[in-house]
Chains A and B, each alone.
Chain A
Amino acid sequence: MDLTELLDVGEAHRAAQKATRVHCCTSTGCRAASAMEVFKNLKTAVQDAGLEAEVEVVGVGCMGFCGRGPLVQIDPQQALYEEVKPEEATSIIDTLQGGTTPALKGDLQHPFFARQVKIVRQHSGKVDPESIEDYISVGGYRSLYKAIYEMSPGEVVDEIIASGIRGRGGGGYPTGLKWATVAKMPGDQKYVICNGDEGDPGAFMDRSVLESDPHLVLEGMAIAGYAIGANHGFIYVRAEYPLAIQRLQKAIQQAKKYGLLGSQIFDSPFDFKVDIRIGAGAFVCGEETALIQSIQGGRGNPIPRPPYPAQSGLWQCPTLINNVETLANISTIIREGGAWYASIGTDKSKGTKIFALTGKIRNNGLIEVPMGITLREIVEEMGGGVPDGEVKAVQTGGPSGGCIPASLLDTPVDYDSLVAIGSMMGSGGMVVMDQDTNMVEVAQFYMEFCRGETCGKCVPCRTGTVQLYALLTKLLKRQATQADLAKLESLCHMVQETSLCGLGISAPNPILSTLRYFNEEYQELLQPPAYLNGKVGHGQVTVSQ
């Protein structure tokens, strides 16, 4: 395939498209609310109304407003319907002929949509993730062509460096620097790994990207392969994402058929093949060294770094490992240029970030926002605040992150600001909590998660998390003393400073951040419950005479 052929495919596909496209979300979240039935009924309704010539129903990826799924959007009319029930399909199609529908009408001008800046999710909810032609028709694989024919590998790396993008998996390591390191490593065999082992509770950004626009990720991987000199890539997806895996498999097959993956891509000497590896259910395999062990067929245990994967990764070869969202940015950076990308966001955090906005909040769903937006704008304007009551805290970064109190809602969302207040960007989970939430229970929940997910290799993480969980449980039973609280805190620091990998290092964050901002809730648990009027001591229940 050459450029003309690529453009022809897109052109032909656009020409074949009907004037009106009814987009129905067929991703996991909406599927759980019977989106597939809605999709089927919409198709039947179009047939019944005899509109097949001008209307087509397209199954698309995530539109973002997951809390109100299933979502249906009619374009070019830009009519959005929320919480669509299967029986409303017929009337929705009727609106195209002047009819009315009881279906809930959505507002695309609402800040939830209007304040978003979509780079990674630019095609999400607009293209059929199972059709490569749909992706090509919106300019897909043009960046790969541009990289191969108009840029040297070094220039591609320079463009990524210029963009200032940092890893979206949570750590925030500069992506360009990582690429440059792997590119400079000697050796004929290098690998690209796409980390799709998203596992934070409340996070589903990567799932959505993989389900909604798999080709965008594949294109990013191929560009990365070209830039660093790798001919083989792996996508590591957790087994709990069957739809993402299925769509990726299809996407890889389609791209191979068109010669956009495999040997001699675009008839150039550049080869790049992509294989999928499916996780076996371990959260820790999102840690890069554990993920590499897992791909190699070993037990998913982290190993000490250095050597970093860039030096010695998959089968001891230099390996570039990037998160799904990072790789999904690459195609646009190559198309628009690094300088354009760097114009979005803040001084040290460039571009956009997807967040999964969940918890006690009106508007649940996925949002892509420019870095530097404040938590308040996200939670109150876009999210619509807590349904009845006030925000108490926002948890970012999943089990590795911390709880940010409402008083700090004006903090800008960027890597460094979040770390400075004891949380972290993480992969993008954002759980909103209201005044009824007990923060010690929140800390206990995350510690229970870490206790269950630690691989068990290093002592502080394996057994420290168990002891931390036990101490929190003791507190919640009102059996703890001031000494236990001190022990809790010192053990947190010990686990943080001595653990082998990121899981253990960040596991105490939920406790430390709640100790810092909600200390009174811990102190309160050291007292007898208020209804006993101070008549009994710790842990004792005595019946008064």
Chain B
Amino acid sequence: MSVKTLKINGVDIAIEEGATVLQAARQAGVPIPTLCHLDGVHDVGACRLCLVEVSGTRKLLPACVTEVAEGMEVQTNTPKLQEYRRMTVELLFSEGNHVCSVCVANGNCELQDVAIQVGMDHSRFTYRFPDRAVDISHPQFGIDHNRCILCTRCVRVCDEIEGAHVWDVAQRGAACYIVSGLNQPWGEVDACTSCGKCVDACPTGAIFRKGSTTGEKERDRAKLDFLVTAREKHEWTR
């Protein structure tokens, strides 16, 4: 296997031929934000967060689908890229209804992480407050389209790993949404194996396990008993 050498932010890196710039950067510990990239499924280059500058081309190239080349010089964090990344995240926040405080994924959300990473504390663009649906027809899972960023990780993971292809994208442009089956409620889609891979793949709180949302939290009453007993009788057993 032949090896390519390149520079990322001035640091020399050697990596096997065919690897992407993103892989090279991760190997070298250079952080590049991503949202649509997911290890194990093919890359679509859709979120545009991983765009980098490469010497010799004026175009910004998505690191996730750009193969390394000998002598390549990559810049991952120029002021222009920082500004564009921040704008991209602002556009995502203005597009959906992302309310961290009532979200199942709060504190464990890649959109939130990226917002912190790019230093976005508010959106300069008008929040659109779209009217979106929540589908909780599936016995175990739910999808809240308000939190969806259309990264299509669920589509790819279901198609490429589970082989069920329950998910796809319907409509176009601003009207796009993730659709299950033949535009049926998720719970009615026979193809769904309830494997839960889409839940694991989803970067935000859009696809979630039932019982873990704020509204559907299952109360663990036994815990209260345990706490009272522990405090009054010093017995720490359940």
Contacts and interface: CB of A to CB of B under 8 A. Distances in A.
Given A304-B45, A304-B65, A499-B48, A460 B173 contact: no
User: Which residue, B48, B51, B92, B171, has most C-beta atoms of chain A within 10 A?
Assistant: B48
The listed residue with most A CB atoms (<10 A of its CB), out of B45, B83, B149, is B45
Nearest to A457: B46
B46 A500 contact: yes
B46 A460 contact: no
A303 B44 contact: yes
A497 B48 CA distance: 10
Contact of A463 (B62, B91, B168, B169): B91
A462 B84 contact: no
B226 interface: no
A498 interface: yes
Interface stretch (A67-75, A80-88, A352-360, A447-455): A447-455
A455 B48 contact: no
Interface in B48-82: 48, 51, 59-60, 62, 65
Contacts of A459: 46-48, 88, 91-92, 149
Which of A282, A284, A459, A460 is most buried by chain B, counting CB atoms within 10 A of its CB? A459
Interface stretch (A179-187, A314-322, A465-473): A465-473
Given A451-B173, A462-B176, A494-B87, A456 B44 contact: no
Contact of B48 (A282, A470, A490, A498): A498
Contact of A456 (B47, B87, B94, B171): B171
Given A299-B169, A459-B92, A463-B95, A500 B174 contact: no
Contacts of B87: 460, 490-491, 494
Contacts of B88: 459-460, 494, 498
Interface string A418-460: 0000000000000000000000000000000001111111111
Contacts of B175: 456
Interface residues of B, number: 33
A464 interface: yes
A487 B176 CA distance: 25
Interface in A488-515: 490-491, 494, 497-500
Nearest to A458: B46
Nearest to A284: B172
Nearest to B47: A459
A302 to B, nearest CB: 9
Interface residues of A, number: 31
Given A467-B126, A470-B126, A453 B173 contact: yes
Contacts of A497: 59-60, 84
Nearest to A465: B173
Contacts of A284: 172
B231 interface: no
A101 B164 CA distance: 70
A303 B42 CA distance: 12
A299 B46 CA distance: 15
B125 A454 contact: no
A467 B51 CA distance: 21
B179 to A, nearest CB: 11
Residue from B46, B47, B92, B150 whose CB has the most chain A CB atoms within 10 Å: B46
B79 to A, nearest CB: 13
B128 interface: yes
Given A456-B150, A459-B91, A466 B174 contact: yes
A454 B91 CA distance: 15
Contact of A299 (B62, B84, B168): B168
7 contacts: A301-B169, A456-B150, A456-B171, A459-B48, A462-B174, A463-B94, A500-B45
Given A458-B45, A467-B125, 19 more contacts: A304-B65, A451-B174, A455-B172, A456-B150, A456-B169, A456-B175, A457-B44, A457-B152, A458-B46, A458-B48, A460-B48, A460-B87, A462-B95, A462-B176, A466-B174, A490-B87, A498-B51, A498-B60, A500-B45
Nearest 9 A/B pairs, CB to CB: A456-B176, A304-B45, A463-B91, A454-B173, A463-B95, A498-B48, A304-B65, A456-B173, A467-B125
Interface of B: 44-48, 51, 59-60, 62, 65, 83-84, 87-88, 91-92, 94-95, 124-126, 128, 149-150, 152, 168-169, 171-176
